[in-house]
Homo-oligomer: A and B are copies of this chain.
């Protein structure tokens, strides 16, 4: 699909981003107010504008703008995936709340997560760092150590980069490459009505961890161990690289395959819309989803957080973002087999949380039997 709707190999857009829990919270913490001139045009107007400018028909390109990674042909049966994602000080992170190694880890992790969501194996990365000239050399070196440590765990080599100066903020932009067989790649556009919606990985803890980082009083209400668990989830997310490759190669009893897949960066409520929209476009038929509240996996740490701090679980589970879990579709007939075999392979949690429908809406089916129609749009998920 050469004409993707969304300019985001790194699955963030400026507007998506501005609507994410992380950004909102950091901005609130900093008490800054930015006029959103871009909002005059609106999210999809802006994305369409860039896509329209960049869109080309290039036979070497299997998938251009509009998925977690771009996919280009290496040979008859192999492809390369390419993704880029940047973290900016005072927008994505505060240097007094994240250690240098943690920041390095996270910068690479968010990119590896994109590669994982395509079902590809990461190979190389390059790093661009723009730092104020009075930047702390030790902190910067720590960032590189954090990148290196995570790279080593997944066989990624950092082959180069660019060091430059900025006026005020530290910015780290990373581009990662990966490889796969062309038939192993999973896109956002292969969900069908009747398919199950599944999530592999932990959801909700990252958002709660961010809250404890920005509010010491909130952190003080939790056991130290719980607080550390939640914060780690936010500061050093684990990219599900092996899980993504496994899922992309999975074949069920009757040869069933995983359909659409992406990684959750803006929250399930927002990100599942990409699957619905891209699948609708591809299949030329409405695709929606019904998420079942009772099936959403809530960890003990998040439960303790909700009990001690309060707040709506749905906000954390579906809306807070930065989970870097894998969200994917699979034929309903193969869900049990898939989950069983996944459990045998990985300690990573996996859950079926909903079903794709043919009515285009994203709906939350509540425990009390009520239904919220999550209409999304420019401001994304708004809980009814």
- Set of chain B residues within 8 Å of A329, measured between Cβ atoms: none
Task: Decide: B82 and A126 in contact? CB cutoff 8 A.
Answer: yes
Stretch of A64-72, A292-300, A301-309, A316-324 with 4 or more beta carbons under 8 angstroms from chain B: A64-72
- Tell me the residues in window 82-105 of chain A with beta carbons closer than 8 Å to chain B beta carbons: 82-86, 88-92
**A272 CB to closest chain B CB, in angstroms?**
21
**A128 CB to closest chain B CB, in angstroms?**
5
Task: Decide: B166 and A60 in contact? CB cutoff 8 A.
Answer: no
In this complex, the member of A14, A58, A65 whose beta carbon has the largest number of chain B beta carbons within 10 angstroms is: A14
So how many copies of this chain end up in the complex?
Answer: 2
Q: How far is the CA of A198 from the CA of B158 in the complex (A)?
A: 32
In-complex Cβ contact of A65 among B7, B18, B161 (8 A): B161
- Set of chain B residues within 8 Å of A60, measured between Cβ atoms: 123-124, 157
- Set of chain B residues within 8 Å of A167, measured between Cβ atoms: 32, 88-91, 168-169
A332 touches B (CB below 8 Å):
no
- Set of chain B residues within 8 Å of A158, measured between Cβ atoms: 54, 56, 65
Residue-by-residue, is A1-23 near B (CB-CB < 8 Å gives 1, otherwise 0)? Answer: 00000011110111001100001
Q: How far is the CA of A8 from the CA of B164 in the complex (A)?
A: 10
Q: How far is the CA of A17 from the CA of B242 in the complex (A)?
A: 39
Which residue of the partner chain B has the closest CB to A69? B160
- Set of chain B residues within 8 Å of A131, measured between Cβ atoms: 14
In-complex Cβ contact of A35 among B13, B14, B37, B134 (8 A): B134
Stretch of A171-179, A232-240, A345-353 with 4 or more beta carbons under 8 angstroms from chain B: A171-179
Residue-by-residue, is A136-172 near B (CB-CB < 8 Å gives 1, otherwise 0)? Answer: 1100110011011000100001111111111111010
Which residue of the partner chain B has the closest CB to A146? B53
- Tell me the residues in window 38-93 of chain A with beta carbons closer than 8 Å to chain B beta carbons: 38, 40-41, 46, 49-50, 53-54, 56, 58, 60-61, 64-65, 69-70, 72, 74-75, 82-86, 88-92
Which residue of the partner chain B has the closest CB to A46? B137
- Set of chain B residues within 8 Å of A132, measured between Cβ atoms: 34
Residue-by-residue, is A311-337 near B (CB-CB < 8 Å gives 1, otherwise 0)? Answer: 000000000000000000000000000
- Tell me the residues in window 263-281 of chain A with beta carbons closer than 8 Å to chain B beta carbons: none
Q: How far is the CA of A23 from the CA of B8 in the complex (A)?
A: 31
Contacts A70-B124, A128-B84 known; A9 to B161 CB distance under 8 Å? yes
**A265 CB to closest chain B CB, in angstroms?**
11
In-complex Cβ contact of A157 among B58, B135, B152 (8 A): B58
Which residue of the partner chain B has the closest CB to A67? B160
Task: Decide: B85 and A162 in contact? CB cutoff 8 A.
Answer: yes
Task: Decide: B10 and A128 in contact? CB cutoff 8 A.
Answer: yes
- Set of chain B residues within 8 Å of A133, measured between Cβ atoms: 14, 18, 34-38
Task: Decide: A165 and B91 in contact? CB cutoff 8 A.
Answer: yes
Task: Decide: B37 and A134 in contact? CB cutoff 8 A.
Answer: yes
Task: Decide: B164 and A130 in contact? CB cutoff 8 A.
Answer: no
In-complex Cβ contact of A50 among B14, B123, B141 (8 A): B141
- Set of chain B residues within 8 Å of A69, measured between Cβ atoms: 160
Q: How far is the CA of A277 from the CA of B54 in the complex (A)?
A: 40
List 13 A-B pairs, Cβ < 8 Å.
Answer: A7-B160, A9-B159, A14-B163, A17-B164, A37-B135, A38-B135, A49-B137, A56-B152, A60-B157, A82-B159, A86-B130, A168-B168, A171-B173
Q: Which 7 A-B pairs have the closest CB atoms?
A: A9-B160, A70-B159, A10-B162, A34-B133, A175-B175, A70-B160, A173-B173
